[in-house]
Amino acid sequence: MTIGENCEIHPTVVIGDGVTVGDRVSIGPYAVLTGPVDLGDDCWIGAHVTLGAPPEWIGKVHPRTWTKVSPHQGVVIGAGTVIREMCAVQQGAERPTSIGRGGFVMNHTSVEHDVRIGDDCVIAPSSTLGGHVTLGDGVNLGMSTVVHQRRVIGARAMVGMGSVVAKDVPPFATVFGNPVALRGTNRVGMDRSGIPEDDIAAVEKLYASGRLSAVADLPQSLADAFAWWRALAVKPLVS
């Protein structure tokens, strides 16, 4: 294990082999970190958080000890991310499970194996992300959101509380329901990200049409976000 400078780690924390902790990291009581785990600078990890438990995948190896390096693909947490109490982030089975920089993962959230979460995402309490889920940058998931395995949520999309995401959600969308339906544009999230008003209006017009055929008319920065999503989405909510 490697621990950075100026960290505050409670004496009850269990840190196994293969764990790297950056500088100025705070880890609360009874957290368990099983390597391989790479925890970036300035992260805050709450009480009873588990980072690096084996994948919840029948047949995958469950090591007999919490302190030896797991045979799985590890966990990577970006700098400045907050993971609140009672959260669980599993090891990847086929790729590292990763959370980007500046994330805020609220209490009792489960991040399953092979999940990839972009930078600056907010995940409200008691949410569940199934295996191989991918979130773009700046995604906001409301309380108790459930995202089905292998689904993709595009950059700066907003998912309302209690929603079930069974299809791939495009960028900048607002969706909610069980299953989720397109409800409009995430205007608030786009505005907070510094996206110009004319660009927000262009996305609103696109979603009002109910189809994504006019993506080419968007500014390049927004069109790139749709291109990223299209490359990954196999069950698009909107086509």
What are the pLDDT digits (tens) for 12-70?
A: 999 999 999 999 999 999 999 999 999 999 999 999 999 999 999 999 999 888 888 99
pLDDT for 3 equals 98
- Our CA angle for 197, 198, 199, nearest 5°, is 90
Work out the average pLDDT over 135-164.
99
The CATH architecture to which 2-232 belongs is 3 Solenoid (2.160)
Contact status, residue 14 vs residue 32, Cβ threshold 8 Å: yes
Give the confidence band of 216 by pLDDT, cuts at 50, 70, 90. Answer: low
**Range with lowest mean pLDDT among 41-50, 100-109, 114-123, 202-211:** 202-211
163-203 tens-digit pLDDT: 999 999 999 999 999 999 999 999 999 999 999 999 999 99
Q: With 0.85 as the threshold, say if the pTM is over it.
A: yes
- For the chain, give the mean pLDDT: 96
Work out the average pLDDT over 119-147.
99
Going from N- to C-terminal start, the domains of the chain cover 2-232
68-96 tens-digit pLDDT: 899 999 999 999 999 999 999 999 999 99
